[in-house]
Structure 1
Amino acid sequence: MQATQTLSEGLKHEFKVVVPAAELETKLTSELAGLKDRVRINGFRPGKVPLGHLRRLYGRSVMADVVQNAVNEANRKIVEENSLKLALEPQVVFPESREEVEAVMEAKGDLTYTVTLEVLPTFELKDLAGVELTKEVAEVAEAEIDAAVERMAKQNRTFSAKEGKGVKAAEGDRLTIDFVGTIDGEAFDGGSAQGIQVELGSGSFIPGFEDQLVGAKEGEERTVNVKFPESYMAQHLAGKDASFAVTVKAIEAPDALKIDDELAKAFGMESLDKLKDAVRESIGRDYAAQGRRKVKKALLDALDAQYSFDLPPSLVEQEFANVWRQVEADMKEQGKTFADEGTSEDEARPEYRKIAERRVRLGLVLAEIGEKADIKITDDEVTRAVVERARQFPGQEKLVWDYYRKNPQALAEVRAPIFEEKVVDHLLAQVKVTEKTVSKDELFADDDEEDASEGGEGKVKAKKASSKSKKKA
């Protein structure tokens, strides 16, 4: 094998590789010789099949494997001999000439191809001694605990038949209804049901549906006219006007709200005090997670400000494609266009490319820091993460588990966030972090511009694209 470098431009390297026909012939003969002891062919004793006959039967399929193995071996040697750290898998371009390909497959011509390698940039890690961060913390207020318990009580409250002649449904009442929905006079799939319960004012039905049932009487038939939201999950219904013929079968009023030990027992707690302690702990975890998110973002901002180096173009393109795909999906979900956000696709793309570049740059920096610090991910940590993901799909846990077990790429996606959090912990231990007590509103205050750009050098104005899209990006 002979490899000649034909291009060295930034992080991109290109080599012309020649594998002589004689080398291919040797490899093919060796493979066929090993094959003759394994195959069974009528008319020949085991191990006695002539190589010429095997070549006529299996030559092309075996040669395909020989060529693939030769390419893999050649690429590996190029990487090792040139001490390259690849950003992506090598991109191989074979000759287009049919005559050349046929000659290679017959081992009568040299295998000549071009391989393009994109490598990771090299950079020196910076000193973080001067970095100072503020970590926001908030105390859980008793009023918030009480409000949370009250919400739980409302979710668990009972209803009783609303008595009295000609009683009317009011907000907060629970109705049992039958309905038949039509669009342009035609019934549609999923538009009809019987014995459905709806709590007026809960917002669980299409906007406007519940409002039009306020004042209804038991046994009354009403026509409810609504419009499906543009972002409705069923695309064939999104944005369409619909009419529902509703029959009120029963009206129930909510019973008195009881917040006591019996409520706690309904949630598996011994007493109301125990329930409040569990709520306090749960809210505290939410506060801690938010504080962690914000201090992590501040740390990444500090890192981003310290580093500037060339990025592998293909990695940036891949990341940008991921970001842009999320943006488009989010805008479709909201039923919006770039024009609705006061911008255009051409104006928005450069802003989101900056987000992709920042993510790639920080990813490379965190990977380098983690490697230098010898940060490892244990099998137990990965297993726990997969189990946690599987628990999100009740009844399908085994399918999820098998998917990750059989899919190395998916498993790598589980490892990545674990590794990142460990590197962040490692870095936070090296910088000065000062805690600052703030209110809940301050802790959860959203700055759309910073969320959108993740604090990088290219901050995106809120009007230039959907804030929700930016946060997801």
Structure 2
Amino acid sequence: MHVTQTLAEGLKREFKVVVPAADIASRADVQLAEMKDKVRINGFRPGKVPVAHLKRLYGRSVMADIVNNMVGEANKKIVDDNHIKLAMEPKLDFEGGDEGVTSVLDGKADFAWTVSVEVLPSFEVGDLSGIKIEKPVAKVEDAEVQERLEGLARRNLAYTDKPEGAEAADKDRVIVDFVGKIDGEPFEGGTGTDISVDLGSGSFIPGFEEKLVGVKAGEEKVIEATFPGNYMSQTLAGKTATFDVTVKAVQQPGELKIDDELAKSVGLDSLDKLKEVIGESIGREFAAAARRKVKRQLLDALDGKFAFDLPPTLLEQEFNNVWAQVEQDMKRSGRSFEDESTTEEAAKADYRKIAARRVRLGLVLAEIGEKNKIQVSEEEVTRAVVERARQFPGQEQQVWEFYRKTPAAVAELRAPIFEDKVVDYLLELAEVTEKPVSKDELLKDDEDEAAS
């Protein structure tokens, strides 16, 4: 096997591999000779089958196995001899195409092909200690716990019909049928039957709930309301609609009780225990939000420390994944690039930068993890699979079997675990200071922060 490098351009490499036909034939003869003592053919005693006869029967399949093995051997030789890390699976171009491969299998030609690879960039990680991180910390206030308690109590409220002729008031529940129209024509998704509207909840578009205050059971009413400009359906966003409403019932809520009985309704012993559980839940939410912001700061710091060429195919694949999600989101929302005050070309340029950042940081984290021997244990992967299975009640066994048989899916679970472990390692090296913040500031979206 002769391997010659023919291209070294950036992160692209090409190699020409040639295996003389005589070498392939020699290896085939050895394998056929080894088969003599193993195969059983009618008319021949064990071990007495002529090699020439075996060649007529099995020569083509033996040659195919040898050719496949040689491709693997060549790939390994290229990686080992050149001390490279592949970014993608090698791309193979066989000389002569299908006809050339047929000639090789028939023993009439040398086996020659080109191996095109993209390699991972080489870079020094350097000293990563001393990265400054500001960790936002919000205190779980009693008022927040009380608000959650009240929300839970409201969801458990019993509603009863108000006396005949009674008007709907704020906090009442109105049961309605309605048909929504734009320019006098019903629109898709604008019809509802036996819909519960809790007045004052803000669950419906602005103006709808407010105009139900004062209605009575049996009343029919036409309500005009305008969809918000950022409504998820672009065909309705900003449009004014009329709703032909039939009021079927007006109900009043029972007394809002926050007591031990409320706690028992959710499987807890007492109100104090319920408050404790809610407080812990809010604390976990705050901790997760703080973690996201800390991780974002850390990744921003890493992104500023490294600049190197990225494997073109790897970058293109990541961009295609990002862009497919963008197109899917826009299609679902019915919005266009014009609605976002941009163009498709400008949006692609922005998202290509996002894809480049993801690829770069992925390579940096992988290098840091490898150099510091950070690994994901099988126990951690198993826990992730179990957690995933729990998300599909009644289908746990099917989910488990899917991951057992699909290594690529397991790799997708392993990747974020590995990333988080590398992040934890880096945070131990960083200078982390805590900054007290309000709940609203802690939970503020990163996009909102960037815009402010």
TM-score range, shorter chain: 0.7 to 0.9
Alignment of 1:366-405 (within 5 A): 366-405=365-404
1:253–1:236: structure 2 CA closer, same or farther, 3 Å change rule? Answer: same
Matched position secondary structure for 1:8: strand
Matched position secondary structure for 1:276: helix
8 Å Cα contact 1:32-1:54 kept in structure 2: yes
**Cα deviation code 1:429-472 (max 9, x no counterpart):** 11211111111122223342776xxxxxxxxxx6xxxx9xxxxx
Aligned to 1:131: 131
Q: Which amino acid aligns with 2:87?
A: A
**Cα deviation code 1:54-78 (max 9, x no counterpart):** 6555554554333222111111111
Matched position secondary structure for 1:273: helix
- CA distance in 2 between partners of 1:231 and 1:65 (Å): 60
Alpha-carbon deviation of 1:321?
1.4
Aligned to 2:422: 423
Matched position secondary structure for 1:134: strand
Alpha-carbon deviation of 1:270?
1.3
1:49–1:232: structure 2 CA closer, same or farther, 3 Å change rule? Answer: farther
Q: Which runs of 5+ in 2 are unaligned?
A: none
Note if 1:357 corresponds to 2:351.
no
Note if 1:118 corresponds to 2:118.
yes
- CA distance in 2 between partners of 1:349 and 1:449 (Å): 21
1:217–1:67: structure 2 CA closer, same or farther, 3 Å change rule? Answer: farther
Q: Tell which deviates more after alignment, 225-234 or 255-264.
A: 225-234
1:413–1:160: structure 2 CA closer, same or farther, 3 Å change rule? Answer: same
Aligned to 2:336: 337
- CA distance in 1 between partners of 2:312 and 2:51 (Å): 48
8 Å Cα contact 1:231-1:332 kept in structure 2: no
8 Å Cα contact 1:319-1:360 kept in structure 2: yes
8 Å Cα contact 1:167-1:217 kept in structure 2: yes
**Cα deviation code 1:131-172 (max 9, x no counterpart):** 222111110111111111111111111111222x32344554
1:61–1:443: structure 2 CA closer, same or farther, 3 Å change rule? Answer: same
- CA distance in 2 between partners of 1:229 and 1:407 (Å): 44
1:158–1:7: structure 2 CA closer, same or farther, 3 Å change rule? Answer: same
Count of residue pairs the alignment pairs up: 452
Aligned to 2:268: 269
Aligned to 1:74: 74
Q: Which runs of 5+ in 1 are unaligned?
A: 452-461, 468-473
8 Å Cα contact 1:264-1:275 kept in structure 2: yes
Identity among equivalent positions (%) equals 61
Aligned to 2:156: 156
Q: What is the TM-score normalised by the length of structure 2? A: 0.85
**Cα deviation code 1:282-341 (max 9, x no counterpart):** 111111111111111111111111111222112111111121122222222221111111
Alignment of 1:120-199 (within 5 A): 120-163=120-163, 165-170=164-169, 172-175=171-174, 199=198
Aligned to 1:305: 304
Aligned to 1:17: 17
**What RMSD in Å do the two structures reach over aligned CA positions?**
3.9
Q: Which amino acid aligns with 1:102?
A: T
**Cα deviation code 1:5-50 (max 9, x no counterpart):** 1001121110011122223334445555666777777777777766
- CA distance in 1 between partners of 2:233 and 2:410 (Å): 32
- CA distance in 1 between partners of 2:219 and 2:351 (Å): 54
Q: What is the TM-score normalised by the length of structure 1? A: 0.81
- CA distance in 1 between partners of 2:309 and 2:381 (Å): 32
1:233–1:433: structure 2 CA closer, same or farther, 3 Å change rule? Answer: closer
- CA distance in 2 between partners of 1:52 and 1:222 (Å): 94
Q: Which amino acid aligns with 2:110?
A: D
Alpha-carbon deviation of 1:276?
1.0
Matched position secondary structure for 1:126: coil
1:60–1:215: structure 2 CA closer, same or farther, 3 Å change rule? Answer: farther
8 Å Cα contact 2:130-2:429 kept in structure 1: no
Alpha-carbon deviation of 1:233?
9.8
